[in-house]
Chains A and B, each alone.
Chain A
Amino acid sequence: MGSYAIRRLLFAIPTLLVISFIVFGILDLAPGDPTGQLPLTIPPEVREQIREALGFNQPFIVRYGLWLQQFLINEPLNLLEKTCDGTWCADWFASSETRLRVTSWSTRSPVVDLIIERTPQTLWVVGMSYVVGILIAIPIGIVSAYKQYSIFDQVGTFISMIGFSVPTFFTGVLMIVIFSVQLGWFPSVYDTTLVVNDWPSFWLQVKQMIMPVMVLALFNASQLSRFMRASMLDNLSQDYVRTARAKGVAEKIVLLVHVLRNSLIPVITVIALSIPQIFGGAIITEQIFRVNGLGALLINGIQSADYPLVQTLTFLFAVLIVLFNLIADLLYGMLDPRIRYD
Chain B
Amino acid sequence: MSSVGVSKFEDLSAVPSNVTDTEPVLAVENLETIFHTQDGKVHAVNGVSFSLQAGELLGVVGESGSGKSVTMMSCLKLLPMPPAEIVNGSATFQGRDLLELNIQDLREVRGGDIGFIFQDPMTSLNPVFTIGFQLMEPLRIHLGMNKREARERAIELLQLVGIPSADQRLKDFPHQFSGGMRQRVMIAIALACDPKVLFADEPTTALDVTVQAQIIELVKDLREKFGTAIIWVTHDLGVVAGIADRVAVMYGGQIVEYADVESLYNNPRHPYTQALLETLPSHEGGRDRRLRSIPGQAPSLTAALTSCPFAPRCTQAHERCHAQNPPLFEVNENQQSRCWLEAEDSVV
Residues of A within 8 A of B (CB): 238-240, 242-251, 258, 261-262, 265, 335-338
Q: How far is the CB of B96 from chain A (nearest CB, A)?
A: 15
The reply on B129 being an interface residue by CB < 8 A is yes
B137 touches A249 (CB 8 A): yes
Contact partner of A248 (CB less than 8 A), chosen from B110, B120, B127, is: B110
Contact partner of B126 (CB less than 8 A), chosen from A240, A248, A251, A335, is: A240
Can you spell out 28 A-B residue pairs with CB atoms less than 8 angstroms apart? A239-B118, A239-B124, A240-B124, A240-B127, A242-B78, A243-B126, A243-B189, A244-B137, A245-B110, A246-B115, A246-B116, A246-B118, A247-B110, A247-B138, A247-B141, A247-B189, A248-B107, A248-B108, A248-B109, A249-B107, A249-B137, A262-B126, A262-B127, A265-B128, A336-B127, A337-B128, A337-B173, A338-B127
Residues of B within 8 A of A246 (CB): 76, 78, 110-111, 115-116, 118
Q: Which of B38-84 contact A (CB under 8 A)?
A: 76, 78
User: Contacts A246-B78, A248-B110, A338-B175 given: A240-B125 contact, CB under 8 Å?
Assistant: yes
Contact partner of B118 (CB less than 8 A), chosen from A243, A258, A261, is: A243
Residues of A within 8 A of B324 (CB): none
Residues of B within 8 A of A242 (CB): 78, 118, 124
Residues of A within 8 A of B109 (CB): 248
Contact partner of A239 (CB less than 8 A), chosen from B120, B138, B141, B173, is: B120
Residues of B within 8 A of A245 (CB): 78, 110
B107 touches A240 (CB 8 A): no
CA distance A338 to B124 in the complex (A): 15
CA distance A125 to B109 in the complex (A): 52
Give the number of residue pairs across the A-B interface with Cβ within 8 Å. Answer: 73
Q: How far is the CB of B76 from chain A (nearest CB, A)?
A: 7
Tally chain B residues at the interface, Cβ within 8 Å.
Answer: 28
A239 touches B123 (CB 8 A): yes
The reply on B227 being an interface residue by CB < 8 A is no
Residues of B within 8 A of A243 (CB): 116, 118, 124-126, 186, 189
B78 touches A248 (CB 8 A): no
The reply on B142 being an interface residue by CB < 8 A is yes
Q: How far is the CB of A129 from chain B (nearest CB, A)?
A: 30
CA distance A194 to B98 in the complex (A): 66
B118 touches A335 (CB 8 A): no
Q: How far is the CB of B78 from chain A (nearest CB, A)?
A: 6
CA distance A242 to B189 in the complex (A): 13
Q: How far is the CB of A248 from chain B (nearest CB, A)?
A: 4
Besides A244-B137, A247-B137, A249-B138, 11 other CB < 8 A contacts?
Answer: A239-B123, A243-B118, A243-B186, A243-B189, A246-B78, A246-B111, A246-B115, A247-B189, A248-B138, A336-B128, A337-B175
For A242, the closest partner residue in chain B by CB is: B78
Residues of B within 8 A of A248 (CB): 107-112, 138, 141-142
Interface string of B171-190 (1 = CB under 8 A from A): 00101000000000010010
CA distance A238 to B120 in the complex (A): 11
Q: Which of B189-204 contact A (CB under 8 A)?
A: 189
For A337, the closest partner residue in chain B by CB is: B173
Q: How far is the CB of B13 from chain A (nearest CB, A)?
A: 24
For A261, the closest partner residue in chain B by CB is: B128
CA distance A337 to B118 in the complex (A): 23
Q: How far is the CB of B31 from chain A (nearest CB, A)?
A: 18
Residues of A within 8 A of B128 (CB): 261-262, 265, 335-337
For A265, the closest partner residue in chain B by CB is: B128
CA distance A244 to B78 in the complex (A): 10
CA distance A240 to B121 in the complex (A): 9
Residues of A within 8 A of B141 (CB): 247-250
